[in-house]
Structure 1
């Protein structure tokens, strides 16, 4: 039985038997909030996510406070999470300075944030794609030398608000570069939510990297995030980024709407009999609690349904 009391079915042919959810609500979700969330609330949020069974929770970002003031408290937050053994708490680092700050706090999982397009690389990092990769290379090398794993985000992998549709070959080439410079996994990100299942299949088929080291990160602008995720799972992907309660967007791409809600993802995976180790009931309660802290209802359909929100 699923956490909702509904019968659990065996996975369909071609689907993974388990999926690792990379929870991004505490970082990607909260970085887009207009008001700064108190550090103690962030810490409680992450503890509740872990208690619901999530074993990978992206905690914060070591970006300069000028660019993401909502996450300026990274040094204060990380010590509050030291009592979560067995929970992976990766953080975003933009450069060597950010990496040094993270390593000084004992962080051993970091992520860099790249772009498949020149326009977004300029908007987000004030660099060309090539310049951004050159910046990431010493970051990845230094992190690995310190025993830390490295994730690479590849933004605008399907469409760009300035450039339009992004050729799959262009995305595949940058993904390969991220692996070559030392990323342990790469998250293929539909930053503005324009992907469709056919596009997902085409892009994953063009990648020159093992799919067991690929994650997918979908936004739900056109209501396609779940169908895109299912298409990715059918191609062999088993790592999915999601955000509790559907929090998030992207402060540097104004057309980006909320992330795929973790609860909506769980409802689908539970129905398919795919194991995640996450308790949907406890996670829903966590998102209801977080929505109260933010002063607005959760955009997740599943949260609304299970909590009887109107």
Structure 2
């Protein structure tokens, strides 16, 4: 081993054994303490819902559930899975989510790219019109009448098409294109005889995987959790999304517990309280499983363009 390698090893050992000053230790202690507190604030409510879904509801309301399930039970999940319409709701929600994500990307991404181009005539005025809709809209009744006139009422596409445009997503994607896609690429593509459409599909989109993942995730989560649009614009129970079916199940159980008497009412009330936590788990687990696969793109896509230099 050479003398240079030995000196380098000694330097690394000195760095590893370097003692922090008192102020550094205090600072690290404060940072780690706050990080741990914020972690508890974020994670514990989710953990509590999970253990509460496996615990006796009276133990939950009595404050006996803290870190582990109390009086372990699967009654909430068993009662919930007795309703066969849940699987139809899952299927509908998956279709709404996948279709809505593709349609949302197909609408918002090209619009954002067009608004990021400096050679777009009237770009600032068009952007002003987009931003105007973030603060003012026609309201529920005009929107309902418009959807009905277009023949989308009580239709599969009412959950996808009318609300596919998101100005916020367009602004985020436009910022990405402006800060991350160099104009030199467009100049080079023009020299090679590349047109606008070919440049967008062959060069811009492959370089935009991060923002495509972020916008797609936002749209998918919004579609998965959507229930208000279905409540207003869908009357056919076969088209209900999962969230609306779970809501109806919970209402029915609450009504049964309120109308019952004696021991039957107590059992119905216990199941209704238990199913509240089971419904939260059933409706959120798919998205929680899907999120880690796009997390790396999510972090990069949100932060890209925020700092330049």
TM-score range, shorter chain: under 0.3
Structure with bigger RCO (C-alpha 8 Å, 6+ apart): 2
Say which one has the larger Rg.
2
- Comparing both structures, which one devotes a greater share of its residues to strand? 1
TM-score (norm 1): 0.25
TM-score (norm 2): 0.25
